[in-house]
Amino acid sequence: MSSVETDPLQEGHVKTLSDHFQDAMLWLVFLAMMSIAGYVLMLDYRHLQYEDRLAGIEDTGEPVFMRPVSPSDQIRPYVPSSRPVGPGRGAPDLTPFDVETDLQEKSAMIFKPDGKGALLGFGTITQGTAEVFERALLGREEDITEIVLHSPGGSVQDALTMAQLIRDSDMNTRIVANGYCASSCPLVFAGGVEREVHETAWVGVHQVYTPPSTFGSIQQGMDQAQRISAQCQQALVDYGVDPALWIKAMETPKDQLYVLTVEELEELKLATKVEEAEA
């Protein structure tokens, strides 16, 4: 008499406890995957909403609200006529310099001493600012040992000249709490022998941009921009800053900023000291 093997799937196989456990685990894995997918979709949606809101920002001269940066989330719109603010981050701490309340970042850079060896550079770096800066240094009776910067940037050539003046004079540079140093301003900052940044400051870089009309053809403008870019890289090397900073700048469009984290400020050696916020 021959035996016939039966297929448990055809004969109505009774599930064991192990089978039920495996089914439960599969459902848990499925639910976990669905939850993760939903969370990622929510983050993408929130990110798109945020980007849409940033795209609608008008640079009216008023402070622009932005969330603070974090690693891998560092691109922010460039604000050339004012400054960014964020949660718990208000006006820059410029009390020692008695800055007028109606003074705006879009105005040409002015220089104000605090009477104790520090000189504030506040405003946009326009063509000729380097000459004004040099006269301000020569015209002071007291020795200037520190330059405090708050600027949305501007003329790269003037920024490079200012940085060299700072280094030749063995002066330090500093960016105060809630301060703003963007575009070409970090080049000036790099000129300091010692370079201190408050952890709540906004320090950002982007591409060098030369309007074609300045030098004639588009090709001439591109050539000039490349020469200026090379000068900037060389200056960073001369001042002991990691030239990898310039890669961040060149990857970032001119209407945006790559805002540096506290860790990057130290790792790239742009800052020799980061001042922590008071608890």
* Separation of alpha carbons 56 and 114, rounded Å: 39
Q: What are phi and psi of 14, to 5 degrees?
A: -85, 125
pLDDT of residue 227: 86
Nearest CA to 132 among 99, 114, 108, 156? 108
Query: Average pLDDT over the chain, rounded to whole?
Result: 83
pLDDT, greater one: 217 or 69: 69
Q: Indicate whether 34 pLDDT > 80.
A: no
pLDDT, greater one: 224 or 34: 224
Q: Quick one: average pLDDT of 5-19?
A: 56
pLDDT, greater one: 49 or 196: 196
Q: Is 224 exposed, middle or buried (0-12, 13-18, 19+ CB in 10 A)?
A: middle
pLDDT tens digits along 231-263: 999 999 999 999 999 999 999 999 999 999 999
pLDDT, greater one: 198 or 30: 198
pLDDT of residue 2: 46
The overall longest dimension of the chain from CA atoms, in Å, is: 119
Confidence at 15, pLDDT banded by 50, 70, 90: low
pLDDT of residue 61: 75
* Separation of alpha carbons 63 and 181, rounded Å: 14
pLDDT, greater one: 2 or 142: 142
Q: Quick one: average pLDDT of 147-156?
A: 97
